[in-house]
Chains A and B, each alone.
Chain A
């Protein structure tokens, strides 16, 4: 609407000018009017996307159009569009015909604001191709190939995205991609593939410079999946979005597997099994509202400190319930999320990957208004990799010895989160209750050494403020990994319930006192010596043993001091994390 008014205003100004110059510029005047009309026509077509029929079809599937999505994501009236007039340049297969050209091609790009803060956005859409509608729909639902999906990626489409990404990098503001794309546009051949690569390159260049977020809001197949994979966060919309390299029919013909789209690449698959997506939301509206919420945690670029938002929660608030939250029996579970909720501002915690590798918890919260990254072991969950349900009342199969352990998936999940926080100046708070790395052939064959090293690497590499709280177990190598003092933790605390040792009493006694008769006495001695925070505290490996109820106050105070932390690392081209 606003755009149309602007066009009218421009037109009015032009006509005043024209009447002033009278006959001398009569020819120019008539030309201006015709240009004016063409501008208006193009804008109108661009705003309508692929036309009302196309919009209705999108709505019918429970999905919004590219522009509707942008209007919900950004502050009202803040969107400034670019490249509305760009059209594809393909001349083959009748694509040059005017009816196959749409201004803006199949993506809406521009910049805008979320709660007042700058962001660059692109929103792919299925526009035009009205005459191919039946084909598009059959492709959507049968997905035998990813050629004529709407929103398919043309050279022009890619160029538009690259343009805003380039600007986002130079200006220093995040990029949000709303993906709803069918893959390469087959009519364009190699130009389309070049377009992908152009975007991939921008994704990699921008990595660690500006936050990049992808929200998958429709099918996203083939080459299109790699752009989200390169961004910092990938979110999905339940039931309407899919991510896969090849669709179910190709899978059937190649591997003879019967699988549905949802099973192959739906939100549930990627948020619980593959770990490709970081979170899923109910529908388009819910996802976009949550994205606004999430955006508030992020700094605009690696040049900016973690944002500090107005906070009403007193920084010195005591949390009495923490004094009793850790059960006396060291094999009994408790929920680390409860600790996180009660320590952070207003119990607000935006969890990342809440349903994947649940033995580690990662997510964003605020402390005294400042964004922090939280990492915590989850004693309630053993490991996704073990076949039993970790906390099953009815079968009583809970295996306390594995609770909160590190395995391949949790190490990778944690490492990626820690590296994001470090790249964007977000302080890290780590809650430790870890019995060690998960043993077994499955883990060793899967490369737990290589993957576990990633988390170790990420914590060691991080130069942001690091505060660590050991709530209970910190055993073995996993103790070192979890942001220990030795990896340059700035402040490391232990609760009185902390046990920092090479391993639990039972295992240790079996080794130290092998063949010994009085195992119980030996075990008691070991517990007396090691199952407490003193051995670490006397060596200065923890800075203090604190009353759990004072945890919030202590962390808030430390973060204020650590805000000016600076660390210099020796020059290098880039580090070499064990991938």
Chain B
């Protein structure tokens, strides 16, 4: 009952008491639209083998056909394991997912509704119908969606279909934040002070918040993963938060109940994994620190945490096990704690699942839909110590080739080289503390800037030289211009730099504002990744775009010399883990690792001074959609007076509700959208006078 592999595999791993397989480096295959790097995929398969099918007994009686009630990389993984075990699979999908990877992998597929999850992946009636139609004997819910829905588990039981995963009782107990908190209290687990009940309306929320004392956290009772969760520092924010959270909770989980608790300021987020079996045995594994979060979504995870001492670790582990026993937990699960600066820890929630598998649910050509989670890939690296794990992560991030979507690689890379992070001085507020105005991209040091300019200039000259290389069979000979020194003018961040470049085979000697650098590479101009050596320093750059008019966009992140970092005393294997997210929300940093440079020959640059500046649109009086999404609500109509910062409409994308506000005080001239509209990036929403 407790699952055909989730149950067995972790128990084998448990014998190692949380020691991870001694892989040198593990990486998942990422979204590579241009180049497929075989080495990484091989490593990825190793991961699935290790975590997916260890301990599987081929003679054990299994199901003939199961339905996988999930999507993306989660569904792919389940289907892959089923294939290995010779079990037929049925995928379900929404209409926008019809050609996604999991649908193609499965033996059968059933469309269960339109794109919004509440109408497809959460649509129990349609899924039950699909089960009947395909005669699946069991359902694997993956995680998220219906995996922790007690109603669904009950429906399945009524139809005599096996639910693969934790039993209804545990789901019921742990899937519901309110119930789980009560249970945790009973099991003598430390809990956060708060209100143990469902909040009726905004006014009650304010009353409770005042009782507990600000700041408070408002969260969806059925929630998880940061959705439907908001922090309020005063009455006003509580009212707003209540409204937005209940809308989000309703659309994401089909359940708009909310609860309120004390918000622990500056906490760390640390989770302990527990394993239980049907005989009442339970044990705990070492912790993972997940403090680096954006909007309560984990961004970087690390194990072991450099903050915990052995005593706290044991205390947390024991409480986690006590909780697992209390709910008769017979599967793998994760108990999340908040830890304050004095190492007090509080039970946050228990997830009836095991996290952290390494995979990618997309491949070149996959659609990434606005309707679902933004995560497109996870990356895990290991090292014999923390420094090594982080260095490998930085290298791996440089080697991701992603085109066509905005992503957060620059942020990830910046976080793992941040001095506070390196020292271990982190909390869940890390990102908002370090980047109070949002992440604006890596700040280049002078030498990094010179390197970037030298690489960009060399690339420019390499392109120019190649433009003269024609197959010589023409009637008329090509007479190449003889240019010994390329005098260039390179503009970066509105500053103009003088560059002189000369070329000898694969080596470019570049003088940037007077300082000389040697740039060596294979100069394969078709490769998405270019490995370049600048005066002996190895760099990986990507030329993302290039225009004839001299504009070039280059991804260049700058590797900090890791040998200078304080070495941290660590025992065992250190793991760093980060989630590669697709960025969709309005406060998201753009791909700031891209540097836009404009390179012109000196002559062109001199003449360019005479070119007139083009008039750009006044962006404060128009509101455009910053991302593709669905308009949830429009709170203004033409003629309304609005104040700067006032909410104009709400757009839901990637399951997050984003409040669009007025850029200036004025009168609404026209409204171009209405609730329910699907809008694209850059679509005009509202115009102000």
Contact = CB atoms under 8 A, between A and B. Distances in A.
A282 B614 contact: yes
Interface stretch (A21-29, A68-76, A131-139): A68-76
Contacts of B473: 305
A78 interface: yes
B22 interface: no
B474 interface: yes
A500 to B, nearest CB: 21
A314 B526 CA distance: 8
Interface stretch (A84-92, A115-123, A503-511): A115-123
B475 A289 contact: no
A487 interface: no
A76 B474 contact: no
A80 B604 CA distance: 20
A345 B474 CA distance: 22
Interface stretch (A245-253, A317-325, A453-461): A317-325
B99 A115 contact: no
Nearest to B483: A76
Contact of B481 (A113, A285, A296, A303): A113
A228 B600 CA distance: 28
Contacts of B628: 393
A241 to B, nearest CB: 13
Contacts of A113: 479, 481
B365 A323 contact: yes
A172 B475 contact: yes
Given A115-B468, A239-B612, A324-B365, A285 B673 contact: no
Q: B-side binding surface: helix, strand, loop or mixed?
A: loop
B470 A309 contact: yes
B673 A328 contact: no
Q: Which of B36, B99, B548 has the most CB of A within 10 A?
A: B548
A64 interface: yes
B365 A312 contact: no
B586 interface: no
Interface in A164-196: 171-173
B549 A62 contact: no
A529 to B, nearest CB: 23
A305 B95 CA distance: 48
B679 A393 contact: yes
A486 interface: no
A283 B604 CA distance: 12
B679 A76 contact: no
A142 interface: no
A309 B467 contact: yes
Interface string A277-318: 000011111100110111010001101110111111110000
A145 to B, nearest CB: 26
A346 interface: yes
Contact of B549 (A76, A290, A304, A312): A290
A15 B2 CA distance: 106
Contacts of A172: 475-476
Contact of B610 (A62, A319, A324): A62
Given A64-B610, A289-B604, A346 B526 contact: yes
Nearest to A60: B610
B673 A118 contact: no
Contact of B603 (A62, A76, A293, A396): A76
Interface string B587-614: 0000000000000100110011011101
A289 B549 CA distance: 5
Q: Which of A71, A78, A320 has the most CB of B within 10 A?
A: A320
Nearest to A323: B365
Given A292-B548, A327-B99, A307 B604 contact: no
B280 interface: no
A312 B680 contact: no
Interface string B471-510: 1011110111101000000000000000000000000000
B114 to A, nearest CB: 13
A94 interface: no
B478 A117 contact: yes
Contact of B469 (A294, A300, A309, A393): A309
A345 B526 contact: yes
A369 interface: yes
A36 B418 CA distance: 71
Q: Which of B475, B480, B524 has the most CB of A within 10 A?
A: B475
A570 interface: no
A309 B363 CA distance: 32
A354 to B, nearest CB: 14
Nearest to A296: B467
Contacts, number: 146
B604 A285 contact: yes
Contacts of B366: 324
A319 B363 CA distance: 11
A44 interface: no
B611 A396 contact: no
Nearest to B478: A116
Nearest to A290: B548
The number of chain A residues touching the other chain, given as a range, is: 35 or more
Interface in A134-173: 171-173
Nearest to B674: A394
A318 B498 CA distance: 41
B481 A286 contact: no
A310 B603 CA distance: 26
B388 to A, nearest CB: 33
Nearest to B404: A338
A75 B481 contact: yes
B466 interface: yes
Contact of A320 (B365, B469, B610): B365
Contacts of A284: 607, 610-611
Given A289-B604, A393-B678, A322 B365 contact: yes
A329 B111 CA distance: 13
Nearest to B630: A393
A296 B364 CA distance: 31
A394 to B, nearest CB: 5
Given A289-B604, A310-B469, A393-B683, A328 B98 contact: yes
Nearest to B466: A310
A285 B601 CA distance: 11
Interface in A28-71: 59, 61-64, 68, 71
Nearest to B32: A320
Contacts of A20: none
Interface string A105-129: 0000000010111100000000000
A115 B467 contact: yes
B23 interface: no
Contacts of A307: 470-471, 474
Q: Which of A285, A308, A327 has the most CB of B within 10 A?
A: A285
Contacts of A283: 611-612
A329 B363 CA distance: 20
Contact of B364 (A77, A321, A346): A321
B525 interface: yes
Contacts of B99: 324, 327-328
Given A284-B611, A286-B549, A320-B365, A303 B475 contact: yes
Q: Which of B470, B524, B550 has the most CB of A within 10 A?
A: B470
A327 B96 CA distance: 9
A308 B600 contact: no
Contacts of A319: 364
A175 to B, nearest CB: 15
Nearest to A301: B475
27 contacts: A72-B604, A113-B479, A118-B476, A239-B612, A283-B611, A283-B612, A284-B607, A284-B611, A286-B549, A289-B550, A300-B474, A301-B475, A303-B475, A308-B470, A310-B466, A310-B470, A312-B526, A312-B527, A314-B526, A325-B365, A328-B98, A329-B95, A329-B98, A369-B471, A393-B678, A394-B683, A396-B678
Given A62-B612, A172-B475, A284-B611, 6 more contacts: A78-B481, A118-B476, A282-B614, A283-B611, A284-B610, A303-B475
In order of increasing CB-CB distance, the 10 nearest A-B pairs are A321-B365, A62-B612, A310-B469, A293-B548, A312-B526, A321-B364, A313-B526, A324-B365, A116-B478, A308-B471
